[in-house]
Structure 1
Amino acid sequence: MPTVERTAHSPAPPGTVQAYLRDFANAEEWDAGTISCTPVDDSPVGVGKQWHNVSEFRGRETSLTYTLEVDEPGHLRIVGRNKTVTSEDDMYLTDDGPGTTVTYRATFTFHGAAKLATPLLVPALGKLGDDAQKTLQKAIEGLPVS
C-alpha cells in the first residue's frame, strides 16, 4: 500500500483549520488533483458525511465517493472508494504556538488489475503528494487567524 505524507503550516488556530478541512467540498481549493467535490446530500458535515469527488490522476478523470470517518480534535480521516482504489486520507493537526501544522497522510490500496500496477504508480503518487502539499499550503495560509 503506497503512502504519501506531507506537511503544511497555517497561521490559523487548529480549530479553524480543522473546520475548513473537515468539509471535504473545500478539497476543490486545497487538493491539486481535485476537479470537483460535491456533497452527496444536504446533511450537516460530521462523521458519515459523503462527497462525490472527481479528480485527475495521470491524465485521466476518476470518481470516488469520500466519507468522513473520523472527526476528532486534531485528527480527521476521510476515505474515498471506487472499484479501482481506496484512498485513506488522515490529517493530523498540531498546535505549534503561532498556528497549526497539518500532517497529511494518504494511503492507497488498489484493487483488481490496478493492484498489479501498484509499483508503477508510486512515482505518480509522489508527484500528486507534492502538488497537493503546495495547494494545501496556499489554501490554509489564507485562513482567518482569529
Structure 2
Amino acid sequence: MPTVTRTVHSPAPVGTVQAYLRDFTHAEEWDAGTISCTPVDDAPIGVGKQWRNVSEFRGRETTLIYTLERDDPGHLRIVGRNKTVTSEDDLALTADGPGTTLTYTATFTFHGVAKLATPLLVPALGSLGDEAQKTLQAALEKLPVT
C-alpha cells in the first residue's frame, strides 16, 4: 500500500480549515489531480456524505466515489473507491499559533490486475503528492484568517 504524506500550513484557524476540507467539492481547488467533484446527493455534509470525484492520473481519467468516514475535531478521513483502487485521505489538523498545520496522508490500495503494477506506480504517486501539496498550500493560504 503506497502512502504519501505531506504537511502544509494555513494562517486560518483549525475550525476554518476543517470546514473547508470537509466539503470535498473543494477538492477541485486544492487537489492537483481533481477535474471535478460533485455531491452524489443533497444530504448535508457529515459522516456518510458522498462525492463523485473525477481525477486525472498518469494521463487517464478515473472516477471514484468518496465518502466522509471520519469527522472529528482536528481529524477527517475521506475514502474513495472504485474497482481498481481505494484511496484513503487522512487529514490531521493541529493549531499552530493562530493558524493550522495540516498533515495529509493518502494511502492507496490497488485491486485486481492494478495490484500487480503497484511498485511501478509509487513514483507517480509521489509526484502527485508533490503537486497536491503545492495546490493545497495555495488554497489554504486564501482562507479567511478570522
Range of TM-score over shorter length:
over 0.9
> Who is 1:8 aligned against?
8
Deviation digits for residues 76-97 of structure 1 (CA, Å, limit 9, x no counterpart) = 0000000000000000001011
What SS does structure 2 have at the residue aligned with 1:91?
strand
CA shift at 1:66, angstroms? 0.1
Deviation digits for residues 54-90 of structure 1 (CA, Å, limit 9, x no counterpart) = 0000000000000000000000000000000000000
1:133 equivalenced with 2:133 (yes/no):
yes
Q: How does 1:1-146 map to 2 (within 5 A)?
A: 1-146=1-146
Please tell me the residue identity of whatever aligns with 1:48. G
Please tell me the residue identity of whatever aligns with 2:51. W
How far apart in 2 are the matches of 1:105 and 1:126?
Answer: 12
List gaps (5 residues or longer) in structure 2: none
Deviation digits for residues 16-64 of structure 1 (CA, Å, limit 9, x no counterpart) = 0000000000000000000000000011100000000000000000000
List gaps (5 residues or longer) in structure 1: none
Deviation digits for residues 98-122 of structure 1 (CA, Å, limit 9, x no counterpart) = 3000000000000000000000000
Please tell me the residue identity of whatever aligns with 1:38. T
Please tell me the residue identity of whatever aligns with 1:69. E
Please tell me the residue identity of whatever aligns with 1:85. V
How far apart in 1 are the matches of 2:31 and 2:101?
Answer: 17
Please tell me the residue identity of whatever aligns with 1:52. R
Please tell me the residue identity of whatever aligns with 2:89. D
What SS does structure 1 have at the residue aligned with 2:144?
coil
Q: Sequence identity of aligned pairs in percent?
A: 84
TM-score, with structure 2 as normaliser: 0.99
What SS does structure 2 have at the residue aligned with 1:127?
helix
Please tell me the residue identity of whatever aligns with 2:101. T
Please tell me the residue identity of whatever aligns with 1:100. T
